[in-house]
Every structure is written in structure tokens, then in C-alpha cells.
Amino acid sequence: MSSQDTSSTGRKKKNVIITGASRGLGKATASLFAANGYNLYLTSRNEVALYKAMEELMLIYPDITVKAKPYDLSIKENAIAFGNWVLRLGISIDILFNNAGSFIPGSVHDEPDGTLENMVNTNLYSAYHLTRTVLPKMMQQKSGHIFNMCSVASIKSYSNGGAYSISKTALLGFSRNLREEMKPHGIKVTAVIAGAAYTDSWASSGIEKSRFMEADDVAKMIFAASQLSADACVEEILMRPQLGDI
């Protein structure tokens, strides 16, 4: 066992798998877990941004393992391939954060044809197929924690939400069903129902940064939920900016 597999206290380090990890909420969450001694296994579809994020994390946190491999998880075969890549590493799967997602604004009555398929493939099927690939390993462990990045759009309809809101509502349904299924197997499932947190995608919106939550706010709640005893599970994390939805 290498020094990167154990902490300074001699305890075996835990492993976190994060999708959509090259920026925004995924990168913020990766940084927080890394700061607390977790090994990281990351993916995103932007190869350049992913490897840049990996290099930054390795430089800041040299005592952990950081591995990354780019995949477009909106493609079923890629989601399965990433899951199998993780499995071949032979690591315990302690935390899986299904964060990969995208947003296309529009309304059901006039959004371009194919928008729903795009949103469902990216925001729902990526999590569904990756989770199904690694679940047998987690069930064998009888432990682990799955976080799914939902949205306030999962619980509240709004103008210009369209297919995005539909896909995030479905992701929340997936999370709730998975939570019930995994109870007997010792695996926790948490839906992260988050409002607007400031990331690069909001930079050109013209909205004051102070109107948003910080990406670190969401990361801190995910980390806190992951630290509870085996007998407690935070089923849903609901967060909004102080002044409400944007």
C-alpha cells in the first residue's frame, strides 16, 4: 500500500468519483474533498479543462491520488466506459457525485427539436448508466454514498425551464427511487437540490455575483452530509440564494 493510500494517521484513504469535475460545482467539491485527504477520480467531456484541473489539484494536494479521464457521459457507452475504468482501478467506491449536466434554455412549446433528448441524456442518463455500472461494487462493499446534482428546477417550474426542468425532475425521481432500493445495502443516496451558485456559466449574465450562492457553499453541504455516521442519511439538500431563486 502506497503512502497515497493511507493518511498520516495510518487510516486507509477514501475515494471520491466526480463527474463534470473540470469546473464549477464539480471542481469546488473535488477541491474540498482533496483538502480533507480523499483520493479523487474525475471526469468531464472537456479534456483540456479536465487535465488542467487535475494538474492544479495534484500541485495543491500532493499527498492524495488524483486520476482523470475525459468522457462525454451523455453517451450511454461512455458513461458505462467511465464506470468500468473506475472499476478496473480496484478501488473502493466511497462517494459517487453525479454532477455532469448542462442547461439549454427554452419552453416546451417552442424549444428546438432534440432539446429534451439532449437534456435527458446529459442530466439523467449519464447518472443512471454510470450508477448502474458501479452499483454492484458498492453493494458488494455494503457501503458508499451517492450524490445526484439536481436543481430547484426539480421541484419548481419556471419560465424558460422547458426540457432542463423536465430532466432535473426526472433526476430527482431517480434519486428517490435509488434511495429506497439501496437502504438494505448500506448505501446512502442524497439529492442535491440547489439554486443558482456562481460559476463561469453565469459570468456573462449581467447579474451581480453577490446575488448567487458560492460554489463552495454547495460543496460544503455535500461534504458535511458525507461525514455522518453510517446510521444517518441526508436524503435531500435544498439550497437557495439568500434572496431566493434567480
Rounded Cα–Cα distance for residues 215 and 133 (Å)? 28
Rounded Cα–Cα distance for residues 7 and 132 (Å)? 30
Delineate the domains of the chain, giving CATH numbers in brackets: 3-239 (3.40.50.720)
pLDDT of residue 159: 86
Rounded Cα–Cα distance for residues 120 and 192 (Å)? 17
Minimum mean pLDDT range among 4-13, 25-34, 185-194 = 4-13
Rounded Cα–Cα distance for residues 228 and 212 (Å)? 27
Q: Can you tell me the mean pLDDT for 71-76?
A: 98
Q: Cα separations (Å) of 46 from 21, 52, 73, 100, 126?
A: 10, 10, 11, 11, 15
pLDDT in tens, 96-124: 999 999 998 999 999 999 999 999 999 99
Confidence of residue 3 (pLDDT cuts 50, 70, 90): very low
pLDDT of residue 83: 98
pLDDT of residue 128: 98
Place of cell 464549477: 24
pLDDT of residue 4: 59
**What dihedral do alpha carbons 55, 200, 119, 112 form, nearest 10°?**
-130
Minimum mean pLDDT range among 4-18, 122-136, 204-218 = 4-18
Between 134 and 12, name the one with better pLDDT: 134
Between 158 and 18, name the one with better pLDDT: 18
Residue 67 in contact with residue 42, Cβ under 8 Å? yes
Q: Can you tell me the mean pLDDT for 48-58?
A: 98
pLDDT in tens, 169-178: 999 999 999 9
Between 72 and 204, name the one with better pLDDT: 72
Average pLDDT of the chain? 94
- For residue 128, give the C-alpha cell: 443512471
Q: Can you tell me the mean pLDDT for 186-206?
A: 90
Confidence of residue 10 (pLDDT cuts 50, 70, 90): low
Active-site residue list: 164
Tell me the H-state helices in the chain.
24-35, 47-60, 76-88, 115-120, 126-141, 162-182, 215-226
CB proximity list for 107: less than 8 A, separation 6 or greater: 159, 160, 161, 162
Confidence of residue 225 (pLDDT cuts 50, 70, 90): very high
Q: Can you tell me the mean pLDDT for 6-31?
A: 88
